[in-house]
């Protein structure tokens, strides 16, 4: 089964790789138009998925992610149009030089080939992922959740029609309709066919991919993000950043999970921040020093520092100095996003240099680590590994560079 | 055990990452000086390894790779000096722009962190790999062969002293002295400590890494490289290229394994090439059409097309057209290097576009796919995967890009 799908994807990838950027742009625009135009059919398919999920007693949060609405359908179309408007990374020359013997070397950005995406019951990911993969000249194999099967089939049908409409092979977008664990595992091990696997899901999926995948992967891992408020911070900026990073959308990976405060500003800042955060419904879990300042806090345990709450919960620690903050971040951070608030340039430089994370934010909310915010149009994931790409993954992250040599008969 | 080594490497990596390029350059020069200066001690340690290998009845080829000579010691020192002379990739800004809200974004090249290298009984890899990792601001964990243990210990000792000599932590270079399979497996699964694993070895090692590794890897895979001689080829250039690609060093991954010849030039070229190749001691395995032209050829079997001979053996096939050559390369190629010989620009363009391989060579021998030939100074491997980097891996391939955001209190 996976060999059949893989072979089709590989064959399609050869055609798509050689298509022009204009053709791929037209494909994306046609996808957007078709998604928007067949919205009612998509909503019907989605209603069947929702009925079944509810009859199986599935929880509210999953059903909410699974649900398509007119606004979400419009969002999928808008996402595809947005990707269509981005510069084409394919074919861009990223370097070129002559070897000692006159051979001319060109380094050129090319598509990866076949990208596989394994994701949960969010049908909008079907369109987002397909759009980014086609936009970057790749074929994609989508493996969604069984709960979203009818929705994904309906969306994929539309996307495939759009491909053939511009003369590209329909198999550029394939849905793996076998939603068993065995099929997912076969996809994770299809080294002959899959050039990149992006898992989009919770810790269970990431662990399964780490354990079972033999194809190259980019891990879209946890975001245990910190905001460190330095002795040199502008405390008004710090307050705005901390509240935004925690409460604006607590369920996402770029939300802050721990607040670190330099003791020089702790007396004032911990009290002010606690007041603002508690007013927003945040539960605070503090170390002893923080609890002394704000007795309402729950005592923080060791595991709190390591937890991505993804909820209105924030761990709070007062640190004696910048170096202790850096040590804390190094120990508990997950390589996603770390923020420092300070007007002290030397402190900012030290933090930026010492903290090895995909994104370091100076006087900015952690919430900006996002493909759209960065100007990538959309993102296929957010890498917390260091290989290939770190942080938000846009079109360029679905390409890599190869070499073309031109000579006149040179030999060694 | 691996946790102890990993923790030390991680701690060392924090210091090395923040060192200046000048400090790392001095470290490499000092390493080179010490390797050259303690050559006799290295040769003594190597002699013990050789004695043991021979007493265990190890084969000549392995013993040859294991053997250090004065020339090889000088080569290790020269390699380190060469890496020291290269531009420092660390800290280079590869992009920068302002977000819609005034946040300034900088994309900066940074070291990966901790690199692990698993390799066979070639002690010179110890110095090469360490030099590239330190040069690119990383810490390295080296896991060589048990046959080379004493040699590797002696080399690593010298390298570690050189690090402390310039104020860098000795644990930037660590040798995993436990050479059991279990230790290798633990290294392959040390996701907390290892940011990149590069396996350098034969198919057995690659399979083990594919099966067992949970850390990010770059696969240095097989090179089933083709030379396609087009209808529009300059046959003198073609002859020089084919002979060079096959015989100059047949045991390496960028040597040619199959010759494809367009039928329009087959009558003349296959006969001429066969004569030259047979004179060099090459065994030819041909399809029926080639055998008709050169009856001395062994009939090629299906498995010959798929085989990386790494020896003075070449498969030969006459193809009716360019497209058949492309199909052949797509089917049997391993993504390493593919060459076309032609004066016909349209044919060259078609081949370059259609063949998805790390390196495409037009009128050039396949043997140029090499870090030194490309001007990278040295290489830690040659990637046949598409993720992260393709082709020869130099200093830059041991880095990736992260983002630094500077703002003035911006929130979402």
Q: Could you give all domains of chain A from N- to C-terminal order, each with its CATH number?
A: 2-219+388-406 (3.40.605.10), 225-372 (3.40.309.10)
At A283 the three-state DSSP class reads strand
CA dist., res. B53 & res. B49, Å (int): 6
- Mean pLDDT throughout B142-146? 96
Q: What is the pLDDT of residue A39?
A: 84
| CA-based max dimension of chain A | 79
Q: Is B255 a residue whose pLDDT tops 90?
A: yes
CA dist., res. B106 & res. B25, Å (int): 25
At A201 the three-state DSSP class reads coil
Q: What is the pLDDT of residue A379?
A: 87
- Mean pLDDT throughout B381-391? 95
Q: What is the pLDDT of residue B393?
A: 96
Q: Is B333 in contact with B357 (CB distance < 8 Å)?
A: yes
Q: What is the pLDDT of residue B202?
A: 85
What the block records as the tokens of A407 is 């000579």
* Alpha-carbon distance B240 to nearest alpha carbon in chain A (angstroms): 7
B374 touching chain A per CB within 8 A: yes
Q: What is the pLDDT of residue B201?
A: 86
| A192 to A359, B200, B258: CA distances (angstroms) | 33, 20, 21
CA dist., res. B25 & res. B91, Å (int): 15
Per-residue pLDDT of chain A (412 residues), as tens digits, is 899 999 999 999 999 999 999 999 999 999 999 999 998 999 999 999 999 999 999 888 889 999 999 999 999 999 999 999 999 999 999 999 999 999 999 999 999 999 999 999 999 999 999 999 999 999 999 999 999 999 999 999 999 999 999 999 999 999 999 999 999 999 999 999 999 999 998 889 999 998 999 999 999 889 999 999 999 999 999 999 999 999 999 999 999 999 999 999 999 999 999 999 999 999 999 999 999 999 999 999 999 999 999 999 999 999 999 999 999 999 999 999 999 999 999 999 999 999 999 999 999 999 999 998 998 877 899 999 999 999 999 999 999 999 999 999 999 9
Interface list for B 177-236 with A (CB within 8 A): 191, 195-196, 210-211, 214, 216-219, 234, 236
B368·A211 Cβ contact <8 A:
no
CA dist., res. B191 & res. B384, Å (int): 22
What the block records as the tokens of A403 is 């070499």
Percent of chain B with pLDDT over 90: 94
Q: Distance between the two ends of chain B, CA-based, in angstroms?
A: 45
Q: Is B260 in contact with B228 (CB distance < 8 Å)?
A: yes
Q: What is the pLDDT of residue A391?
A: 97
**DSSP code of B146?**
G
How would DSSP label each residue in A333-357? --SSEEEEE-S-HHHHHHHHHH---
Chain B contact set for A14 (CB, 8 A): 330, 354, 356
At B386 the three-state DSSP class reads coil
Chain A contact set for B230 (CB, 8 A): none
Q: Is B177 in contact with B131 (CB distance < 8 Å)?
A: no
B386·A362 Cβ contact <8 A:
no
Q: What is the pLDDT of residue B378?
A: 79
Percent of chain B with pLDDT over 70: 100
Q: What is the pLDDT of residue B377?
A: 78
What the block records as the tokens of B220 is 């240095």
B112 touching chain A per CB within 8 A: yes
Backbone angles phi, psi at B195, to 5 degrees: -90, -25
Chain B contact set for A354 (CB, 8 A): 14, 18
What the block records as the tokens of B270 is 């296959």
Q: What is the pLDDT of residue B253?
A: 93
Q: Is B352 a residue whose pLDDT tops 90?
A: yes
The pairing of beta strand A283-286 with beta strand A313-319: parallel
Plot region of A151 (φ>0 → left; ψ -120 to 50 → alpha; else → beta): alpha
- Mean pLDDT throughout B73-86? 95
Buried b (16+ CB within 10 A) or exposed e, B322-339: bebbbebbbebbbbbbbb
Q: Is A355 in contact with A379 (CB distance < 8 Å)?
A: no
> Hey, of B113, B138, B387, B391, which one would you mutate to test binding to chain A, going by the most A CBs within 10 A of its CB?
B387
Q: What is the pLDDT of residue A203?
A: 86
Interface list for A 36-65 with B (CB within 8 A): none
What the block records as the tokens of A93 is 């020359």
Q: What is the pLDDT of residue B68?
A: 96
pTM of the entire predicted model: 0.94
B365 touching chain A per CB within 8 A: yes
Nearest to B403 among A195, A210, A358 (CB): A358
A216·B387 Cβ contact <8 A:
yes
| A104 to A168, A208, B6, B273, B391: CA distances (angstroms) | 33, 44, 41, 26, 16
Q: What is the pLDDT of residue B105?
A: 98
> Hey, of B101, B248, B273, B405, which one would you mutate to test binding to chain A, going by the most A CBs within 10 A of its CB?
B405
* Closest C-alpha to A3, from A156, A171, A192, A199: A192
* Alpha-carbon distance A393 to nearest alpha carbon in chain B (angstroms): 12
Q: Supply the ipTM of this predicted assembly.
A: 0.94
The pairing of beta strand B139-143 with beta strand B114-119: parallel
A244·B411 Cβ contact <8 A:
yes
**DSSP code of A387?**
S
A387·B400 Cβ contact <8 A:
yes
- Average pLDDT of the residues of chain B: 96
Q: Is B203 a residue whose pLDDT tops 90?
A: no
Nearest to A385 among B103, B216, B406 (CB): B216
B393 touching chain A per CB within 8 A: no
Q: Is A366 in contact with A225 (CB distance < 8 Å)?
A: yes
Residue of A nearest to B242 (CA): A411
What the block records as the tokens of B26 is 């001095």
Q: What is the pLDDT of residue A61?
A: 82
* Alpha-carbon distance A212 to nearest alpha carbon in chain B (angstroms): 8
How many residue pairs from chains A and B have C-beta atoms closer than 8 A? 207
Q: Is A299 in contact with A285 (CB distance < 8 Å)?
A: yes
CA dist., res. A68 & res. B171, Å (int): 53
């Amino acid at each position: 089964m996976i060999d059949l799908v893989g072979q089709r994807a590989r064959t399609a990838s050869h055609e798509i790789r050689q298509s022009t950027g204009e053709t791929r742009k037209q494909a994306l625009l046609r996808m957007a138009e078709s998604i928007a135009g067949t919205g009612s059919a998509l909503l019907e398919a989605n209603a069947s998925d929702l009925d079944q999920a509810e009859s199986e007693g599935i929880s509210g949060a999953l059903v909410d992610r699974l649900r398509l609405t007119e606004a979400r359908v419009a969002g999928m179309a808008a996402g595809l149009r947005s990707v269509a408007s981005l510069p084409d990374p394919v074919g861009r020359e990223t370097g070129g030089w002559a070897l000692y013997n006159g051979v001319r070397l060109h380094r050129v950005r090319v598509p990866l080939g076949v990208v596989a995406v394994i994701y949960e019951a969010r049908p909008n990911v079907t369109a987002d992922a397909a759009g980014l993969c086609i936009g970057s000249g790749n074929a994609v194999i989508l493996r969604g959740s069984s709960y979203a099967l009818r929705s994904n089939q309906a969306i994929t049908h539309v996307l495939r029609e759009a491909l053939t409409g511009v003369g590209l092979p329909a198999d550029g977008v394939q849905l793996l309709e076998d939603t068993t664990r065995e099929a997912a595992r076969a996809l994770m091990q299809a080294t002959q066919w899959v050039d990149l696997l992006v898992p989009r899901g919770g810790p269970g999926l990431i662990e399964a991919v780490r354990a079972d995948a033999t194809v190259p992967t980019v891990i879209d891992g946890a975001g245990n993000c910190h905001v460190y408020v330095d002795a040199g911070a502008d405390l008004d900026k710090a307050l705005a950043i901390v509240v935004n990073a925690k409460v604006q959308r607590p369920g996402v990976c770029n939300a802050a999970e721990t607040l670190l405060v330099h003791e020089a500003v702790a007396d004032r800042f911990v009290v002010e921040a606690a007041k603002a955060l508690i007013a927003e419904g945040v539960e605070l879990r503090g170390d002893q020093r923080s609890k002394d300042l704000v007795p309402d806090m729950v005592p923080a345990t060791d595991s709190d520092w390591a937890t991505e709450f993804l909820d209105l919960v924030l761990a709070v620690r007062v640190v004696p100095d910048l170096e202790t903050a850096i040590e804390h971040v190094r120990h508990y951070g997950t390589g996603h996003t770390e923020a420092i608030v300070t007007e002290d340039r030397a402190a900012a430089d030290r933090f930026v240099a010492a903290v090895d994370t995909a994104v370091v934010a100076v006087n900015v909310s952690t919430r900006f680590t996002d493909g759209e915010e960065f100007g990538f149009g959309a993102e296929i994931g957010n890498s917390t590994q260091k290989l290939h790409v770190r942080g938000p993954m846009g079109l360029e992250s679905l390409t890599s560079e190869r070499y073309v040599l031109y000579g006149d008969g040179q030999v060694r």
